[in-house]
Amino acid sequence: MTIMEDKRVLTIASHVVSGYVGNSFSNHSGYRRLKGFRTTAEQISDLYDGLKGCGLDDFDMLLTGYIPSEECVEAVGRIARDMKEREGGCFWLLDPVMGDQDRLYVSEGVPPVYKSLVGMADMIVPNQFEAELLSGVKVDSLPSLSHAISELHRVYNVPHIVITSVTFTNGDKKMLCAGSSATSSGVPRKFVFNVEIIDGFFSGTGDMFAALTLARFREEAEKGALEAAQSWRCDDAVSPLELPLCKAIGRVLGSMHLVLVQTQLARDRILGGKMKEEEVEVGGEEFVRLTKASELRLVQCQSELKDPEVGYEAAVLK
């Protein structure tokens, strides 16, 4: 099942996903055990050159995710530049995966490379930690969250921004997801969603969010006859809550909520509701069992992904 049945997307990431250019592993890294190999920068470039040599590089969209080395990120940047400069252009959603919870899980050379590439992207979807790295703003309140978005627009001139999984240390069990589409003169139009936190250990939620965001935003952009070559920018008069991006994210969050609920129910059914992440040894047999039981129920949730019955309502972020 695909939301964009007649669209072509080139995905570059290091997870095992159909139709991507990236590393080949036996399973995702959430298990803390895996076999396989990392694709080198030269191999990534060769694969793209092969596509191009056969005329198979006519992608409408480019989605890039976890890339652990600076050399590979640089190679992806060259591919993105080539795709965007051709006739008709290409919309690039860049997920600058670098780390989470104040910890890098890529090499220290990766953040500077991302900073050099963000200005070429049409949309970025960093998490809280990554937004702090890129903006230089510590995000610990609504005002600082708003400031970080403004800085990302100002410094990189990126048209569309979504900051995912934002939490503050105030005991609130809610999570925030904030975004903005800039006007033609660079003025942010910011919105924020309050998101319910689903208890559990889930791998791949960031990948799911990025993929759904690209699909949903394309749908909303097409309603207004917006073009990829123009970064799917809408009229400056459109208010924050009427932005195609805001509408898209509301639907994305609805789908994700439903998938995570179904995943949680399936996990508890398999495990008898007795096992918690904090109670098992990381990488041990029980941890592997928990991780396997917590795999996202994407295939089982096709209707929730395609037509979510619930959505989220945004508020204007000052």
pLDDT at residue 199 in the model? 81
Residue 16 lies in a domain: yes
pLDDT at 180 over 80: yes
Contact indicator for 255, 305 with CB cutoff of 8 Å: yes
Give domain status of residue 55, yes or no.
yes
Tell whether 123 is covered by a domain: yes
Asked whether residue 224 is domain-assigned, the answer is yes
CATH assignment of the domain containing 215? 3.40.1190.20
Tokens of 11: 């995905």
Give the C-alpha separation, 27 to 38, whole Å.
13
Q: What is the pTM of this model?
A: 0.90
| Three-class DSSP category at 103 | strand
Mean pLDDT calculated for residue range 32-55: 88
Q: Would the pLDDT of 94 be above 50?
A: yes
2 part of a folded domain: no
Q: What is the spatial distance between Cα 259 and Cα 110, in angstroms, rounded to a whole number?
A: 31
Q: Is 272 within the bounds of a domain?
A: yes
**Enclosing domain of residue 226:** 9-316
Pairing of strands 190-196, 315-316: antiparallel
Residue 1 belongs to a domain: no
Is residue 4 in some structural domain? Answer: no
Q: What is the pLDDT of residue 170?
A: 64
pLDDT in tens, 118-173: 999 999 999 999 999 999 999 999 999 999 999 999 999 999 999 999 999 766 66
Q: What is the pLDDT of residues 197-208, one digit of tens each?
A: 888 878 889 999
More confident residue, 86 or 279: 86
**Could you give the angle at which helices 128-135 and 110-117 cross, rounded to 10 degrees?**
70
Of 178, 188, 136, nearest to 158 (Cα)?
Answer: 188
Average pLDDT over residues 258-277: 85
Checking if the pLDDT of 20 tops 80, the result is: no
At 101 the pLDDT is: 87
Of 250-264, 273-287, 288-302, least confident by mean pLDDT is 273-287
Q: What is the pLDDT of residues 70-84, one digit of tens each?
A: 999 999 999 999 999
The count of domains in the chain is 1
Q: What is the average pLDDT across 92-105? A: 94
